[in-house]
Chain A
């Protein structure tokens, strides 16, 4: 569904991303994790078509990406800056659908359903800045799923919310993914989060970035904050990824 082949990005001659190759099958949820400053955001922006790659290709459903593809949605880290402050929650979710000229009846249905799905059915008339950080990020997620993308990208979406909200949002993502089956690429710097959410975890080196390991997460499909995280296998995987990343830092 999403294929990244030999991706390379240089900024003014300096190599940020050296060579990335990995792919996501239809309906997969894959987490990308790496030390801070390893070019995770560069990778995500290249995949999203927001940044041209220096070399290599990204393709979605067989189509090569040269600009933001119409069947892809992104949830950004900076929830406070990715929502339009002059629009209500409802209008924020609706705007991309309007621009797509989706008929009003379908639009209203989509907006209503996706807001309900993220647990915000009761605040459609509020403005984003009236909501807490976690709720704002829920709005951004609702906007992404209402867009009905084939591929969903998430750029450290929960890095700026408190721990409790974070756990709730992680479970929300899992629930939505299990229901909708959207192919999801989830970028994070949090090893626990990556292991907890992903079917696979792609471990990146520090910059100039390469793939260190593409790790299958063989945890039960049904996940739960308490029991999953308490499994010995969870601790193994977590420790393994942690060691990889420490090694990546040391090699710098």
Chain B
């Protein structure tokens, strides 16, 4: 009982406050929660989920996977070689410092405005955190473990991929939030479908409750992905956290 109050107490209070505000203030931009809930059900439980939400998530997944493959694939050799690392580091730091959304117009220039563009935008933003963290993780591999592998004829890959996994996962976590941002922005820019496009469409049509329902959906998506990620992280890195404690 106390646990339930602790988890749901504050959220319920906040929704009630929202309700009270929308009832008293009669603000056009702030519809009451029931209205938004209704709009949420009407808007997203149906064809829209298939036409807009799923393709968005699909592009996000595709871009994320490609970025992971490139980031880890390049990060391992760069991390292993001191010279390669010294050579690549300033270039990588520069690319990481570019705010990913400005790549949207560039990639539109280079490949047009189809699905490839949106996936490429996600790749171009997600790859740097993964790459740099992989480099760092591989660089910081434990020397004693490396000696152990050489001594006992254990393949280096076992050590590299497992040993660098805490940093690789940290990079993947950063990339996940970058990926969601880019998924939304690439669709706001030039698109005829997708979550970002639909939400902007509602906003332009002054369908305020629907717009809020879209924001809510994006919030739920962000929450669900980060929860799923944490679950995965705990399963993969169980040894890492316990090791530190």
Chain A residues engaging chain B, CB cutoff 8 angstroms: 45, 48, 50, 67-68, 70, 72-74, 76, 78, 81-82, 84-86, 95-96, 99-100, 127, 129-130, 143, 147
Report 9 cross-chain contacts, Cβ distance below 8 Å, ordered by A residue: A68-B151, A72-B151, A76-B147, A81-B145, A82-B147, A99-B152, A99-B154, A127-B239, A129-B243
Residues in A neighbouring B154, C-beta threshold 8 A: 95-96, 99
Q: How far is the CB of B245 from chain A (nearest CB, A)?
A: 9
Pair B162/A50 contact, Cβ less than 8 Å: no
Are the CB atoms of A85 and B243 closer together than 8 Å? Answer: yes
Q: Give chain A residues whose Cβ lies under 8 Å from the Cβ of B242.
A: 127, 129-130
Closest CB in chain B relative to A46 CB, distance in Å: 13
Is B151's CB under 8 angstroms from A78's CB?
no
A43 to chain B, nearest CB (A): 15
The residue that B147 contacts in the complex, of A50, A70, A85, A147, with Cβ under 8 A, is: A50
Q: A74: nearest residue on chain B (CB-CB)?
A: B151
**Count of inter-chain pairs, beta carbons less than 8 A:** 58
Inter-chain CA distance A127–B158, complex, in Å, is: 17
B138-180 interface with A by 8 A CB criterion: 142, 144-145, 147-148, 150-155, 158-159, 162, 165
Q: Does B240 contact A (CB under 8 A)?
A: yes
B240 touches A85 (CB 8 A): yes
Interchain CB contact under 8 A, A70 and B144: no
Complex interface: chain B residues within 8 A of A70 (CB) = 153
Q: How far is the CA of A67 from the CA of B153 in the complex (A)?
A: 11
Considering the chains assembled together, what is the distance between the CA atoms of A129 and B241 in angstroms? 10
Q: Which residues of A contact B162 (CB under 8 A)?
A: 84, 86
> Nearest Cβ in chain A — how far from B161, in angstroms?
10
Given contacts A68-B150, A96-B152, A129-B243, 18 further A-B contacts (CB under 8 A): A48-B151, A50-B150, A50-B151, A67-B150, A73-B152, A74-B148, A74-B151, A76-B148, A81-B145, A82-B147, A85-B239, A86-B239, A96-B154, A99-B152, A100-B153, A127-B239, A127-B242, A129-B242
Shortest distance in angstroms between B228's beta carbon and chain A's nearest beta carbon? 21
Nearest CB to that of B244 among chain A residues?
A129
Which residues of A lie under 8 Å from residue B155 when comparing CB positions? 99
Q: How far is the CA of A85 from the CA of B142 in the complex (A)?
A: 11
Q: How large is the interface on B (under 10, 10 to 19, 20 to 34, 35 or more residues)?
A: 10 to 19
> Chain A nearest CB: distance from B233 CB in Å?
14
A129: chain B residues at CB < 8 Å are 239, 242-243
- Enumerate chain A residues within 8 angstroms of B151, measured Cβ to Cβ: 48, 50, 68, 72-74
B234 to chain A, nearest CB (A): 13
Give Cα distance in the complex from A147 to B148, angstroms: 13
A99 to B150, CA, bound (A): 12
> A137 → chain B, closest Cβ, in Å?
13
CA distance A100 to B154 in the complex (A): 9
Residue with the highest number of chain A CB atoms closer than 10 Å, among B144, B150, B159, B165: B144
Q: How far is the CA of A48 from the CA of B154 in the complex (A)?
A: 15
Contacts of A78 in B (CB 8 A): 144
Complex contact A82–B240 (CB within 8 A): no
Is the pair B144, A82 in contact by a Cβ cutoff of 8 Å? yes
Complex CA gap A172/B158 in Å reads: 30
Option from B144, B145, B152, B239 in Cβ contact (under 8 Å) with A147: B152
With the chains together, A58 CA to B148 CA distance in Å? 20
Q: Give the distance in Å from the alpha carbon of A69 to the alpha carbon of B148 in the complex.
A: 13
Contact of A81 among B144, B150, B165 (CB under 8 A): B144
Q: Is the CB of B142 within 8 A of A81?
A: yes
C-alpha gap A100/B162 in the complex (Å)? 20
Q: How far is the CA of A139 from the CA of B155 in the complex (A)?
A: 20
User: In the assembled complex, which residues on chain B have CB atoms less than 8 Å from the CB atom of A74?
Assistant: 147-148, 151
In the docked arrangement, what's the CA distance between A73 and B147, Å?
A: 11
* Residues of chain A contacted by B147 (CB below 8 angstroms): 45, 48, 50, 74, 76, 82
Are B239 and A76 in touch, CB under 8 angstroms? no
Partner pick for B153 among A48, A68, A81, A86, CB 8 A cutoff: A68
| Residues of the B chain whose Cβ atoms lie less than 8 Å from the Cβ of A48 | 147, 151
B202-245 CB contact bits vs A (8 Å, 1 = yes)? Answer: 00000000000000000000000000000000000001101100
Please report the C-alpha to C-alpha distance between residue A90 and residue B154 in the assembled complex, in whole angstroms.
Answer: 15
Task: For the complex of A and B, list the 8 residue pairs with the smallest distance between their C-beta atoms, beginning with the closest.
Answer: A96-B152, A81-B144, A86-B239, A85-B239, A129-B243, A78-B144, A74-B151, A82-B148
Within the complex, the shortest CB–CB distance from A67 to chain B, in Å, comes to 8
Please name all residues of chain A whose beta carbon is closer than 8 Å to the beta carbon of B158 when the two chains form the complex: 84, 95
Residue of B144, B153, B165, B243 touching A76 (CB-CB under 8 A): B144
Docked pose: A82 CA to B145 CA in angstroms: 5
